[in-house]
Amino acid sequence: MTTTIPPQENALLALQQEWRERHAALWQTMLQRDKQPPPTPMVQPEPGDRRFNHPAWRMSPIYDYLHQAYLLNAQYLKRAIELFPSPDTLARKRLQFATRQFVDALAPSNFAATNPEFIQKAIETHGESIRRGLANLIADMEKGRISMTDDSAFEVGRNLAITPGAVVYENELIQLIQYAPLTDTVAKRPFLIVPPCINKYYILDLQPENSFVRYVVEQGQTVFLISWRNPQADLGHLTWDDYLEKGPLAALEVVREISRVDEVNALGFCVGGTILASALAVAKARGDAGVTSLTLLTTLLDFTDTGEIGLFVDEQSVAQREATIGKGGLLTARELSSTFSALRANDLIWQYVVGNYLKGDKPAPFDLLYWNSDSTNLPGPFAAWYLRHLYLENSLRVPGKLEMCGVHADLGKVDMPHFILATREDHIVPWQSSYLGRKHLGGPSTFVLGASGHIAGVINPAAKNKRSHWVNDSNTPDAERWLAGATEVPGSWWSRWSEWLKQFAGGEVPARGRLGSKKHPPGEPAPGRYVKEKAL
């Protein structure tokens, strides 16, 4: 009787044989090498992997073999998981994610005994690097997180978030900032920015040379921006509806009153875009959206594919959230930060473990990483609703299915022209998923795909004009078909978007010297106090 071996089992057997042969070849290469290493390592790291770039990894036969054997094993495990015979796609992806965490954690670069850079640095500094590394470790343990940058180099309001402006309205959840004009004339229609509530708004207003807010003001826009509160225990009762009502819906009313107009232009970034689009669907159901054009940056409206974040969301985990914080409490900043860091562990965890603790270095000042470490809490009811209805059930895309703020909302009724930016290497909002928003919104659609990731692809100043972006006038529902017909354009997307926005200016008016209005007078200067609140 002949036994048929399943194709997957055949493939796994072939992979195991290849793994054994490559290990044998690597061992022979190490035995036969002289003092100088071969010109090209037998096992190469993946593109962008810089963990073993230092010459010390190649000069010693021991460390040369050690790091190449590790890479060989890592490649084997990655390929073996792809052959895992499971009909459950989610289970396979979770296994792939868990395997990557395991493999990344066990890299020889992460341990003193197997990292030649640690030994070399200790000898060169006569042990001082070890003392500094222990001091860094103790300081980070007291801080409760790994240091990614020199925190002392930055301060919100001193050298971050310094575009001139003032708070013109606040409630328990938001401060609304109006920025001072930098041009003699401005667009008649003002411009409202809704940043993500899961992070601090100043990612859009870091320093003058890379501030998106300042750029928009310089383009002759009267800019208003929502600064979300960093919720503490007293705000742990706030819901998704509260964020819509007290966030964009309240801000739109104030902006229209101050500017004496019926409509404004609006932009949402990441979950801020999801909140803004949801708020506009509510406003449309009530009979008045008050928005002429909509810009969405790296935003999910269709949660069919949420990337690796979706691996943390299933019925059991969401039910557990609902039972613990769904009626009140906080999803803490520390938990959120740990989750996002795990998505890019080599870049956001192990790089700093090696640099801070093994080498005893101080991380260099970097404004973006300072912002990344300045985390925020989320109210439990808001977070549980968001996870249940959007990430798990993907209900926002279904017309009329979700009841928000007392109405059944339909994204298709959000019919103003919209500009959607996604970024090609985004690990938080896959660009193909962002693209799906085009078919759920009404109105003329413009889609642009930026280079780089979730943050660097957005914060790409026009003055530096780095990277590139892709454009295509096609409205095809298929994202990959859109990309196949797209043209790559060198430089930042900011200038292209700014030109698109000008058509919705409603004319020009002289810039007003005074911020706010009699009803909403200017209060504390930007950036306001809400953005300075730290998560406990």
Catalytic residues: 270
Conformation bin of residue 443: beta by default, left when phi > 0, alpha when psi is -120 to 50: left
Question: If residue 31 lies in a helix (H) or strand (E), which one and from where to where?
Answer: helix 7-32
Closest CA to 390 of 271, 285, 280, 247: 271
Q: What is the sign of the dihedral through the CA atoms of 125, 126, 132 and 138?
A: positive
Closest CA to 376 of 165, 196, 125, 169: 196
Q: Which two tokens stand for residue 41?
A: 């390592």
Closest CA to 79 of 160, 164, 15, 152: 15
Q: Which two tokens stand for residue 71?
A: 């890479």
C-alpha distances (whole Å) from 272 to each of 4, 55, 209, 428 are: 54, 45, 23, 14
Q: Which two tokens stand for residue 30?
A: 């190490």
Amino acid symbol at 201: Y
Point out which residues pair with 396 in neighbouring strands: none
Spatial separation of the C-alpha atoms in residues 228 and 247, rounded to whole Å: 8
Q: What is the DSSP string of 363-389?
A: PPP-HHHHHHHS---EEHHHHHHHIII
Half-sphere exposure of 419 (CA within 13 A, CB side): 23
Helix, strand, coil shares of the chain, percent, nearest 5, are 45, 15, 40
Task: Fill in the DSSP letter of residue 448.
Answer: E
CB 527 within 8 A of CB 202: yes
Alpha helices, DSSP H, located in 106-249 = 116-124, 128-143, 212-218, 240-244
